[in-house]
Amino acid sequence: MSAEETSHFVRVRVDLVVEVRDPDGLTRAAVGRIDGDPDLPDAERTHARSAVTEDTAEAIAYLVDPFDLVSEVPGVELQQASWSTEQIDYDPDSPEWGPYEDDGGDEDDDDGDGAGIG
């Protein structure tokens, strides 16, 4: 492909597993972000507070922003993002939790140059 034929869009996939060691601190931080958002309507603010108070995964979703991942990368502008959180059972010693568990076992990245992260 020539430079003119190459797409300028790149999909970045990130899968994180985090351990919540301070659920109360996490909840306080999420409520603080919600309360500090001047653009959030009161009805949504009430719903959001309830969600982050009842579910640590929701609190993380309020605090993790894909824009933050690329906002300082030169020459890049975020076009679209979606993310979700869920509580899971995690065993780091299980073979099911290898770095390529969700992508069919292909340890190379999609462009075939062998530069996959492992």
How many residues are there in the chain? 118
Residue showing tokens 């609190």 = 59
CB of 23 closer than 8 Å to CB of 57: no
CB of 23 closer than 8 Å to CB of 56: yes
Quickly list H helices, the chain. Answer: 23-35, 42-54, 56-63, 66-70
E strand residue ranges, the chain? none
Residue type for 26, please?
A: L
| Mean pLDDT, rounded, for 38-59 | 96
CB of 109 closer than 8 Å to CB of 115: yes
Give 56-109 pLDDT, tens digit per residue.
999 999 999 888 889 999 999 999 998 889 988 888 888 877 665 554 444 444
Q: What per-residue confidence (pLDDT) applies to 94? A: 82
Neighbours of 53 (CB within 10 A): 14
Give 5-33 pLDDT, tens digit per residue.
778 999 998 888 999 999 999 999 999 99
Residue type for 83, please?
A: W
